[in-house]
Amino acid sequence: MLPLVQVCVVVVSLAVVAIAVAIMRAVVLVGRATADVSKMTGEIRLWIDEANAFTREARDTVASVQGVIAPLRHVAERFEAIGVHTADLSAAVIGEVEPPLRTALALARGARSGATYLLERLSQRFNLGRSATNGGSDHE
């Protein structure tokens, strides 16, 4: 039985050595993973710092835009008021000018029609005394 115990001791010794090697490899891998996590943590901190800087710049930009929006809104309201006043003034001017202008146009058309009629009548009157023949001869 002694050889069997010796074989078992050798197997157990080999198993202990294998476990020790596996533990050492695991420790090395955990160390590498920890180093990678440390690097990534540093990079993430840089990204967070950049994101914070970007956020600050965005806030500053929004504040600047908000500072510009109020005067622009005021200018737009003024343009709206000016547009309303201009439309009212145009309507008032057209309301005051249109009826007399229509009357004047109607009078001008009437005068032109009357003058045309008179001129036609005068031209017919002066043309009646003249003969419309070809010199008084009856042949062609």
Question: Please, is 135 exposed, middle or buried when counting C-beta atoms within 10 Å of its C-beta (0-12, 13-18, 19+)?
Answer: exposed
- pLDDT surpassing 70 at residue 130: no
Nearest alpha carbon to residue 21 among 127, 48, 29, 75: 29
Please report the DSSP string for 100-116 in residue order.
Answer: HHHHHHHHHHHHHHHHH
pLDDT tens, residue by residue, 12-62:
999 999 999 999 999 999 999 999 998 999 899 999 999 999 999 999 999
pLDDT reported for residue 125? 83
Biggest alpha carbon–alpha carbon distance for the chain: 173
pLDDT reported for residue 44? 92
CA distance 57 to 49: 12
pLDDT reported for residue 3? 87
Strands (E), the chain: none
110 or 137: which leads in pLDDT: 110
pLDDT tens, residue by residue, 79-127:
999 999 999 999 988 888 889 889 999 999 999 999 999 999 888 888 7
pLDDT reported for residue 70? 86
- pLDDT surpassing 80 at residue 64: yes
